[in-house]
Every structure is written in structure tokens, then in C-alpha cells.
Structure 1
Amino acid sequence: MTVIQHDEDVDLDRFAEWLAPARLTVVRAWAGDQLPADPAAVGAGLVVLGGHMNALADDVAPWLPATRALLAACVAAGTPTLGICLGAQLLAVACGGRLQVAAPPGREAGVARIHWRPEAAGDPVLGALVGPARPRSTPLPSMHADAVVGLPPRAAWLGSSDMYPYQAFRIGSAWGVQFHPEASARTLQAWAAQYDDVDAAAVRAEYAAAEPEIAAAGRAIAEGFAAVAAGSVR
């Protein structure tokens, strides 16, 4: 399984453990590592992480066009793919969706409640969080100011938050999540400290109050995606 990392401080975090026993190859795009050229080279699946740049900032991150091209090719090839935050935005744009940089609602920072739509029930990656015996929403870490404002054609809309509608979607074998299921308390706190418009103390308190639910949900998403990727290999 290939992981594309866009920034040094936006890494796999908890997913490094939760995606095991998948064999992970991390492409450190920010450090100059070369991206795979086609879906056949990514292995069992592709994970595209978040980053501090926007999904259209090709001048800042010159590997973004190749990332979008790879995402579109993986969707076409049926390769299991997961885009997280920036990765989800890149996935949406690559497949014909629309992105708004610095969206008017502002930065969604801290813990967002993700409200699951009926389409998420039974989903191979997110379905474990949805069901009659479960809450209709799940607290998950968030840190973004850009947003998908139009889903790609034929995408299934799976989840929303009070602040931003397109928090989770699926296009065939590819999932995009605007939130950060991989982020530990330490990671989210470090991100919060970088932005003047974020109350880092409030972020820390929100995470602490919901940490057991956050960890359980993040693990379920990682394990669900790992199972999809393993099934694809078989």
C-alpha cells in the first residue's frame, strides 16, 4: 500500500499502527520522493494524506498535478483509495468536483461531529460507524479552511458536519474524508498551534472530552480500508 505524504508534520500518525498488517510504502512528496506513475505501482491501495497547502497550489507543491492524475487513474482502475482532508479535496478535483479555497464558513478546527447519511450504512469503510444501534453522528478531528463545494459526478455523499456538507464521499473504489481519522491529540494540538485563528486550548479540551470515541472511529475506518485493500489483492 502506498501513502503519499505532503508535509512533514502531516503523517500517518495512528494509521501507521491501525493499517497493519498492510505493507506500507510512504512517498514523502515534500522531500522530493517520486510518486508512482500508475495504479499498478501503488500495491494493495493508495492513501493520500492531508497538508497545509491547498489542492490547487501547484506552484507551492509541484507534485500535486501528478497526485491528482494518480488519484483519477486509481479510481478508473478500481484501486482501493483513501483521501484524507487535502487528499479528499485532491480526489474530488481529480474526478470533476469543485473546491473552494478559504471557504466562507471559515476554518473548521478541533472536533467536528460527522453526521452520517443513509448512504453510509453498509459502506465497507465507514459502515461500522453507522447503524440503528449507533449514534447518528461521530466526533472526529478536523483542521481545514478549504472545502469541497461540489461532489464529482456519480459520487455517493456519505457524511456532513454542521459547518461543511461534504465531509465524506465515495467514488467507486475511492473514499474521501474531510476530517482526520488518523490524528492523535498531540498531532491535532500541534496543528492548532500554527494558526492564529484557532483556539488551541479549546481544541485540546474538545479532543480530550471525545478521545475514546475518536480513537474507536479512527481505528474502524483504518481497519475497514485495510480490509478493502486486502480483499482487492486476493
Structure 2
Amino acid sequence: MSTHTLEGKNVLIAGGGKNLGGLISRQAAEAGANVAIHYNSESSRTAAEETLSAVEAAGRKGVILSGDLSTPENVEKLFADAEAAIGKLDVAVNTVGKVLRKPILDTTEADYDAMFDINSKAAYFFIKEAGKQLRDGGKVITIVTSLLAAFTDGYSTYAGGKSPVEHFTRAAAKEFADRGISVTAIAPGPMDTPFFYGQETPERVEFHKSQAMGNQLTQIEDIAPIVRFLATEGWWITGQTLFANGGYTTR
């Protein structure tokens, strides 16, 4: 069952065009996988095309696919189009997320709906579709957040929207187990990407850095290898949320 490479495997990565998802896409190709790269909006297309070029330069088959995954029909279409392009899927990774730092007293219903549509609903139907479409022995991996174990202000709809994914992951791990499909979540610390800085003051950035080893934020290079591990010889880990954050927080 265990394998150290992704040789000949077919991998779908939601949000796979840039930042963490882009690195996961590149590393999957380097490990031998064909990669279907999803991107959300036209503003991300150029980055997705660059990632596709890197996948093809590694000698692997790739495709870029777009869609708003908060609509279940779009999730179904994404899996169908990915399979049509690269073959029956073995691994499905969801890096999609939306961050908002806003006090509860200022949060509107539209804010709440947008955050839960992306962070919770899209994640749920991605896991559902993966359970339907992956080959036996497949892997489903969702990126969540270390805020699930932190006690702080401002992130009620972000941490709140991501927290159900733990329960989806546990239920799916049980429900898909008879087909040998592992289902996991990874909870990075505050990541050194554009998503993070738009929400924080310089003072808070320094505080977040001070909470982890080496006085630094989580790097995408810290997380991508964990995804690869879970997709290969880490298959025996299932139903878990892995807090990968350099000691930022735990529970």
C-alpha cells in the first residue's frame, strides 16, 4: 500500500495555481504525478499557466481548470474535467480558502455567507466528490488553519468557517475507509503569503512571528512536503488534523 513517490498518479489541486497550491502542483509533478490545476478567478490565470508550464517541463501531463467551488455543480464538473484530461484521480488536495479579519460587531450577513461558502461548503462538497471519484487507495487532503487551536480576536468567520472541515474529515475518513482512502487536514500557522499580510498590522505580524521557531511565519515550503508525505507513505494517517506551525499553537 505504501509508496514513496507519486509516479504515475493523477492529482487534482484546488487552488493549485499559485502560492502554496502552486508549489504543491510543482512538487507533485517532480514526484511523478500528472496534475490538474484549479484556479478560482481570471486574476489567477497567469500564475496557473506558469504552474502548468512547470508541470509539463517536469515531463508530466497537466491541465488548468477554473471554477467557483462554492457551487457543488462546479465541484462535480471540476472532478469530471480533471479526470477527462489526466485520467482517473488518485489524490485530491483542496488549498482553497478565504481570509477575513473583522470584529463580530462589524461582520455582515454577506461577509458570513461568503466566508462559509468558500471555507466550509466548498470544502464539504470537494471531499464528497473526492469520495465518489477517487480510485481505491486515494488520498483527500484539505488545508485548514492553526487558528482552529488558537484563541484570538478578529477571525470568527475564518476560523469558524474552517473548523467544520475537521468534522467533515473525520466522518469521511470513516466512510471512505473501506476503499482505503485516507482523509486528512493540514493546519499551517500564519503563512508568508499575500493572503496573510492584507489582514494584519505590522505589529501583529511581528507577534505572529514571535510565536514560532526561528521568529518566522510558516513558509509554503514547510507545508508542501507534508502534503506529499500524506499522499504517499503517510497514507496510514487518516481522520487527523496536523498542526504544522513551528510551535505557534497546539491543543
Scaled to the shorter chain, the TM-score interval is: 0.3 to 0.5
Which of the pair has more CA radius of gyration? 2
Structure with a larger share of its residues in strand: 1
Structure with a larger share of its residues in helix: 2
Q: TM-score, normalised to structure 1's length?
A: 0.47
